[in-house]
Structure 1
Amino acid sequence: MTRAKLLIFLCFAIGLSSCTSQVEKINGVSFVAYGSPVDSTHTTPVVTQVNANYATVMPFGFIRDLANPEIHHNTERQWFGETRAGTKQYAEELRKLNIKIMIKPQIWIRRGEFTGFLNMESEADWLKLEEEYDEFILEYADLAEEIDAEIFCIGTELENFIDKRPEYWNSLIKKIRAIYKGKLTYASNWDEFKRTPFWSQLDFIGIDAYFPVSDEQTPSFEKCMEGWKRHVPVIQGLSESVQKPILFTEYGYRSVDYTGKEPWKYDRDMTEVNLQAQVNASKALYETFWDKDWFAGGFIWKWFINYEKAGGPENNQFTPQNKPVEETIKYYYSLKH
């Protein structure tokens, strides 16, 4: 065989190998914690309605206010699904349907204060917060290893905590790696991810993808596609620079007017139901990202366990359940990329 023919053969073989080893897209739902265990009646719609292959399960820790370092978690006062036992039971039931798992522990600050603004008033309080967060997150890293979860998320929208205490997070990642052997991500806010300093230490660049894409009352598919053009180069550029795939740890739109303007909002004064707006914005997101090789997939926000009672044509919140957008999700989650 000549040198030229050998090179052609090797290139073909490498190309064939990369195609056959292509990683399956993460077509996920954010499976919301509830006050009781789940069974097949709760998990089956995850597959039948949207063809999901992944689910996020979300235990919670609670903080009293933005300056308080104490994190209360895994207590009898919490809903079952927010505890270690509940997280494990949810994951085990989902696994019966071959749904892969991401464990994503989250912090809730009283009155719904934004976690990104968490800020201690003294060095002693910062050290106490670090101690408390260690206990909280390592509890669930241990659970992730116990149940062999495919992905573990080390935090959600904690920009100020990360900015003020970067060495702590470097140390925390090492502690998690010593416990959990699967893949790691962090759920950065859509306007935070460019500044997160530790992506090279994780397996996915996680983004809660509430990017503004359109100011229209009913954003058209075309306008949303246009709106993504200013964000994609930044997202793709970061992926390429740190050589890590992008994972939308949360994404989705409310079925409400102006859903593409500030998609993170859940203000009570936004009440006008707009099912088409949710469909158009969602379709544009899928068309923009789902066929990209640097994009790993994502988790729709959010999926309630009691399918029959969730969402519906009068609901103006994020859930896609019992709304036209379900068919959009199912279509894109059925594609092979």
Structure 2
Amino acid sequence: MEFKGYTFGYGTKPGAYFTEEVIDSFNKCLDLGLNWVCIPVALTQDTFASTEIRFDYKTDLSYIDIEKAVSMAHARNVKVCLKPMVNCADGVWRADINFPDGNMIGVDTYWSKWFKSYTAFILNYAMYAEKLGCEMLCLGCEMLSSERKEKYWRELIAQVKKVYTGKLVYNTNHGSEENAKWVDELDYLGTSAYFRVGESEGATLEGMIEKWEKVADHLEEISKRVGKKIIFMEIGCRSAKGCSAMPWDFAHRDLPRDEQEQADFYESVLKVMSKRDWFEGFFWWDWSTKVYKTKEEADKDVNFNIHLKKAEEVVKRYYSEIQ
């Protein structure tokens, strides 16, 4: 298994990587035994139907910020996947960025404008990745509605390969692993593996393992058909009761804390997937830039963080054993 990874610092603000607090959190994340870290860089478009992706100097990471993060990882012999992402300022999920497939005379007006902006966006970070020696670049995250636009994606990939020489991956969503027909031009197929493996009440480790085995069998067939090994570019579960049945959830703040259910989610998927030869690894979601420092704080946290929770020891144990 190639990728013993984690995603660090989604939503990091400019200058944060130069602060002692974030440097300390970054090193704690690497202490899990990582050999890869994913650095997400998110820009914004105004609405799901906007055709321009914009950069905001107040909120978006500069080249210097990214350089700092990459250099910290490389100083500890940890490889880097740079992951540019797009969010919608209106709160709509990026999967729903969508336009009509052509106007009345068959011209793809809106998609062509959007892909022109998206290609420029990705090429900028592809050049950053090449300059900084990032070992992998993720070309998009959960862009489900756009995945059908094969011509535009293949053109984008061709442009990226002119400026970037590292590995390429795309991050689709669970259940959509065969929608992007153009992944044959990439090195890996990535997915956000927020599969329902628990129950809203009474989730057990054994039950989760059984469901992960079924998920793994299904993904193995997809890997064979697509001809690519699979990476879980996102995966995780909050330390809240019932979240193994909806591991993508971040909205239900009223759920009671359940550290064991979170740990069982991590244990079950690591146990099952680490034995599959078509599976290349994990980038867990996500380690906060300003992670808490005490067990007392951890005992109040119901987010995706695993620091000072049972799941942290699970990840450390498996990452130390996996070759």
Return the TM-score normalized by structure 1. 0.87
Preserved contact between residue 177 and residue 222 of structure 2 (Cα < 8 Å):
no
Q: Give the structure 2 partner of residue 329 of structure 1.
A: 315
More deviation, 292-301/119-128 = 119-128
CA drift of 1:47 comes to 2.9
Specify the SS of the correspondent of 2:160: helix
Query: Are the structure 2 counterparts of residues 218 and 180 from structure 1 closer, same or farther at C-alpha, using a change threshold of 3 Å?
Result: farther
CA drift of 1:229 comes to 3.0
Alignment match of 1:118 (pick from 97, 101, 126): 97
List alignment gaps of at least 5 residues for structure 2: none
| Whole-angstrom CA distance in 2 between matches of 1:226 and 1:240 | 22
Preserved contact between residue 150 and residue 180 of structure 2 (Cα < 8 Å):
no
Specify the SS of the correspondent of 1:198: helix
Preserved contact between residue 286 and residue 332 of structure 1 (Cα < 8 Å):
yes
Q: Between Structure 1 and Structure 2, how many residues are aligned?
A: 309
Q: Does 1:127 align with 2:105?
A: no
| Whole-angstrom CA distance in 1 between matches of 2:154 and 2:228 | 17
Q: Which amino acid aligns with 1:30?
A: T
Q: Which structure is larger by alpha-carbon Rg, 1 or 2?
A: 1
Q: Give the structure 2 partner of residue 268 of structure 1.
A: 252
Q: Which amino acid aligns with 2:86?
A: I
Written as runs of structure 1 = structure 2, the 5 A alignment for 1:1-337 is: 25-32=2-9, 33-35=11-13, 36-38=16-18, 40-48=23-31, 50-73=32-55, 75-79=56-60, 82-120=61-99, 123-163=108-148, 165-309=149-293, 312-337=298-323
Return the TM-score normalized by structure 2. 0.90
User: Residues 190-237 of structure 1, C-alpha deviation per residue, up to 9 Å, x if partnerless?
Assistant: 121122212211111101110111224342110001112332222111
User: Residues 150-192 of structure 1, C-alpha deviation per residue, up to 9 Å, x if partnerless?
Assistant: 11000000011121x2100011111111111111000101121
Percent identity of equivalent pairs: 24
Preserved contact between residue 88 and residue 147 of structure 1 (Cα < 8 Å):
yes
Specify the SS of the correspondent of 1:154: strand
List alignment gaps of at least 5 residues for structure 1: 1-23
Query: Are the structure 2 counterparts of residues 266 and 308 from structure 1 closer, same or farther at C-alpha, using a change threshold of 3 Å?
Result: closer
User: Residues 132-156 of structure 1, C-alpha deviation per residue, up to 9 Å, x if partnerless?
Assistant: 1011100001111111111100000
* CA RMSD, Structure 1 to Structure 2 (Å): 1.8
Preserved contact between residue 130 and residue 163 of structure 2 (Cα < 8 Å):
yes
